[in-house]
Homo-oligomer: A and B are copies of this chain.
Amino acid sequence: MKKSFPDRPQSDQLSIGRLASGSGVKIETIRYYEKIGMMPVPKRSTGGQRIYSQAALNRLHFIRRCRELGFTLKEILLLLTLDATADRSCNEVRDVTLTHLAQIKRKIADLKRMQSVLSKLVVQCDSGSAPACPILEALQPANA
């Protein structure tokens, strides 16, 4: 009775390949996520291949976006479980995000310091005023 396409049995039945191309997460990474418990264990075809639902795609999207924003998998798992818990978890989500934001700010500050140090060294290098390489000299413990 159901007019299901043979190649796309149901619109919410996805092979791992489709899930990968649909989410921008590589196949190996999806299997890895399954292994470490980031993604639930999916159904299998009679031949043993993984079959995913739309919900899996949503979850993967969420994970990918969070990763792009620099969240660790642990943090993302926390966000996902908070999401499932629902209720007044908003504050906790906000806390996770704020903590993460603080880390980002620290990293930016660190990188800027590096940038400034290295830029100065390169400028000295460019001026060609030094007899030896000023970069190497600057990194030496002293002129021992």
What is the interface of chain A, defined by CB distance below 8 A to chain B? Answer: 54, 57-58, 61-62, 65-66, 68-70, 79, 82-83, 89-90, 93-94, 97-98, 100-101, 104-105, 107-108, 111-112, 114-115, 117-119, 121-122, 125-126, 132-133, 135-136, 139-141, 144
Contacts and interface: CB of A to CB of B under 8 A. Distances in A.
Contacts of A94: 122, 125-126, 133, 135
Contact of A141 (B57, B111, B126): B57
A116 to B, nearest CB: 10
B136 A93 contact: yes
Contact of A118 (B89, B90, B104): B104
A19 B112 CA distance: 30
A69 B65 CA distance: 29
Q: Kindly report how many copies of this chain are found in the complex they form together.
A: 2
A20 B93 CA distance: 41
A120 to B, nearest CB: 11
A131 to B, nearest CB: 10
B101 A118 contact: yes
B70 A114 contact: yes
Given A69-B118, A118-B69, A136 B79 contact: yes
A133 B57 CA distance: 21
Contacts of A144: 54, 58
7 contacts: A62-B139, A62-B140, A94-B125, A94-B135, A101-B118, A101-B119, A111-B111
